[in-house]
Structure 1
Amino acid sequence: MESSPINRLPPDSLHQIFSSLPLRQIIICRSVCKFFNHLLTSQPFTEIISTRPPLNLLALRPPHHHRHHHAANPQPCINVYDPDENRWLRFNLDFLPFRSPQPVASSNGLIYLWGDSVNSVDSSKSLVACNPLTRQFKVLPQLGSAWSRHGTVLVDSVNRVMVLTELAALYYSGAVVANQWLKFSSNLPSKPRSPVLMSTSVFALCDVGSPWRSQWKLFSCRLTSLAVTHTNWTCLEKHEWGDIFDIIKRPRLLRGEGESKLLMIGGLKSTFSLNPACSTILILRLCLESLEWEEAGRMPLEMYRGFQESSKFKVFGGGDRVYFSAKRMGKLAMWDCWEGWRWVDGVSGYGDGLCRGFVFEAKLTLMQ
């Protein structure tokens, strides 16, 4: 490449040429040679394409056994699936000075992960924001290790971060003036299930039933309520909803498309008995503006048969795509609100087949 005529072109001309390529092709070109990698990761080029729409990918969390055996993953990376190209990709995380990074959430081109400091003698973890495409990272203010074990990390579209447990919530806005975590009481009736941070509110499911029969309710809290001593959670319910929460077994919440849609996914109960079997998996969509539910999707019976044999399954994703995994499945089921249902093959590294993940909107933008 050193003798190639392309080296004689000025950088500005090369930037204009490569900026006409789709983001997927730019990422591929970066791995061609050192010259392309330096050119396409430079700040001037990154600023040119910073307004490009992101790639909507699915990032998988590492298998559980990687969390306890550092040697199992000597070169940390994150596996992602590109649903538009139906292919798996791998982004290296070797630029991070942390042991056993554990990706947990993503928003606006950044991935958030827990990492053990290389120089630390104890097991204290830091919450880190990074962009695998630009290989930049930022360490958020220090947290106690208990938060990484018991807290759920939530991030919204403007990179506000919340770590939520049943008893307390930590909130970080990233503001320069208040570069610290704010701590508040959660005041929830039970452990929050699959909380979601979107728009101006946090949403979570809570079981308010008895020890022998679950009764799920949807709770929300506006971010402005975090300014008070006790977080003000409100139970969202309408008489018109009827038995909407009684027909779903083991419900989960996911962010819907845009900032006004919330998805609830779970097994569709065949009866109202104490421990009923399910006939399929149902996806419901709530419009946060009108507070009206609608059915968004129902897993085909031939696909659901694979989940019937498993005692446990995971739901992840969000937006216009939802993914499902189950023990001994070896592949993912995917729901696309535009194209329907299909299988995703190529999942590897999960011995029991049970994997989890999150939406990764990949962007070539520089961190502030």
Structure 2
Amino acid sequence: MESSPIYRLPQDTLHQIFSSLPLRQIMICRSVCKLFHQVLTSSCFIDLISSQSPLSLIALRPPHHHHHHRHLSYLPSLHVFDPDQNQWLRFTLDFLPFRSPHPVASSPGLIYLWADSPHLSEPNKSLVVCNPLTRQFRVLPQLGSAWSRHGSVLVDSANRVMVLTELAALYFSGSNQWLKFSSNLQAKPRSPILVSESVYALCDVGSHWRSQWKLFACRITSARNCQTWTCLERPDWGDVFDILKRPRLVRGSGKRILMIGGLKSSFSLNASCSTILILRLDLETLEWDEAGRMPGEMFECFKESSKFKVFGGGDRVCFSGKRVGKLAMWDRCEGKGEWRWINMVPGSGVGDGLCRGFVFEARLTALP
């Protein structure tokens, strides 16, 4: 094969040829032969295509079964779904020299995961950032295991990282240390998200007998010494927080957030739900609108589930329910909201049977 004319082409010429391919084909070509792999993983080629459009994927977090039982051996990998090709892919994480890597969040091109240090006899979690396509990684300043058990990891497009708990938060923006500050939230933050330098979270400020959900926000720039949360309320919002059961937030496209939950059939205490509703808040105008609602025949599969999980972002949101065995997806990338099933979900029968995940924009970019 080495007598093929392609071996006589200059590397710059090969770079120009392959740079015209979309990222999906580049990834396929990397596994064709040693020459292609060497050319397509070189730093100069990665710099050349760094501005290329990413692959918009849905990544699954490993089941809690693996997260809490480190003695179980399994091949560390990241399972992702490609909605455009309607297929599952697997990125191996075997290049990471850590025990029990557990992906939890992403920023453009990068995955953030908790991992145990291989050099310590006692488990001590570190937050690691990596690119599974370039197989590069970097360890952030070390954190204790309590933060990994109780904290939510939030990352934005500028690779600012926050680990948020009910009582405190840690903030990291490229310096060599975490900044710690206390929180003044009235209750435990639910499904916090990071959008446009602000953190948004839902809090249940009601009683033990009846939930009362409110939306809170905190700007990162004002959170260096203490974390000051403000409740976002407007008179014209009406009962927007009362019509949903177990609402959760998902980062929307642009400066929008999505609030998702079961649509109550009435305002009674134990009202049943008629479907799952997606509401959208424009952060510039602070106006709500309905983005989508799950079709009745699809909701029948979730109706008997004791609880369901919501994950995704932008214009794609996935739903996982106990004993459902597949994912429901709301997809608005083509301008209109469509609902479809995702089958053959890896690991859906492990642990509690619920899938959790996040959006991953795969890119061949180097670590910051």
* TM-score with structure 2 setting the length: 0.97
Q: Using the alignment, how far apart are the partners of 1:248 and 1:225 within structure 2?
A: 31
Q: How many residues align?
A: 363
Q: Using the alignment, how far apart are the partners of 1:2 and 1:96 within structure 2?
A: 32
Matches within 5 A, 1:195-206: 195-206=192-203
Structure 1 residues 321-340: Cα deviation after superposition (integer angstroms, max 9, x where no partner): 00000111111000012351
Q: Using the alignment, how far apart are the partners of 1:205 and 1:26 within structure 2?
A: 41
Structure 1 residues 230-251: Cα deviation after superposition (integer angstroms, max 9, x where no partner): 3110000100000100000000
Q: Residue 223 of structure 2 aligns to a residue in which SS? A: helix
Match of 1:119 in 2: 119
Q: Using the alignment, how far apart are the partners of 2:102 and 2:337 within structure 1?
A: 32
Match of 1:313 in 2: 308
Structure 1 residues 9-38: Cα deviation after superposition (integer angstroms, max 9, x where no partner): 110000000001110000111111222111
In 2 relative to 1, CA 190–339 (structure 1 residues): closer, same or farther, beyond 3 Å?
A: closer
Sequence identity, in percent? 72
Q: Using the alignment, how far apart are the partners of 1:359 and 1:283 within structure 2?
A: 17
Match of 2:222 in 1: 225
Q: Using the alignment, how far apart are the partners of 1:299 and 1:319 within structure 2?
A: 17
Note if contact 2:312-2:358 (Cα within 8 Å) is conserved in structure 1. Answer: yes
Note if contact 1:169-1:183 (Cα within 8 Å) is conserved in structure 2. Answer: yes
Is 1:186 the counterpart of 2:190? The answer is: no
Q: Using the alignment, how far apart are the partners of 2:263 and 2:135 within structure 1?
A: 43
Q: Using the alignment, how far apart are the partners of 1:68 and 1:75 within structure 2?
A: 16
Structure 2: give runs of 5+ residues left out of the alignment. Answer: none
Note if contact 2:186-2:205 (Cα within 8 Å) is conserved in structure 1. Answer: yes
Note if contact 1:331-1:353 (Cα within 8 Å) is conserved in structure 2. Answer: no
* Mean Cα deviation higher: 329-338 or 260-269: 329-338
Matches within 5 A, 1:66-215: 66-70=66-70, 72-174=72-174, 178-215=175-212
Once the 2 structures are TM-superposed, how far is the Cα of residue 349 of structure 1 from its aligned partner?
Answer: 1.5
Match of 1:292 in 2: 287
Structure 1: give runs of 5+ residues left out of the alignment. Answer: none
- The CA RMSD measured in Å over matched residues stands at 1.1
Q: Which runs of 4+ in 1 moved over 6 A?
A: none
Match of 1:20 in 2: 20
Once the 2 structures are TM-superposed, how far is the Cα of residue 224 of structure 1 from its aligned partner?
Answer: 1.5
Letter in 2 for 1:309: E
Q: Using the alignment, how far apart are the partners of 2:73 and 2:250 within structure 1?
A: 29
Q: Using the alignment, how far apart are the partners of 1:121 and 1:235 within structure 2?
A: 44
Structure 1 residues 132-165: Cα deviation after superposition (integer angstroms, max 9, x where no partner): 0000001001111110000000001111000000
Letter in 2 for 1:348: P
Note if contact 1:152-1:164 (Cα within 8 Å) is conserved in structure 2. Answer: yes
Q: Residue 267 of structure 1 aligns to a residue in which SS? A: strand
* TM-score with structure 1 setting the length: 0.97
Q: Using the alignment, how far apart are the partners of 2:163 and 2:70 within structure 1?
A: 25
Q: Using the alignment, how far apart are the partners of 2:40 and 2:222 within structure 1?
A: 43
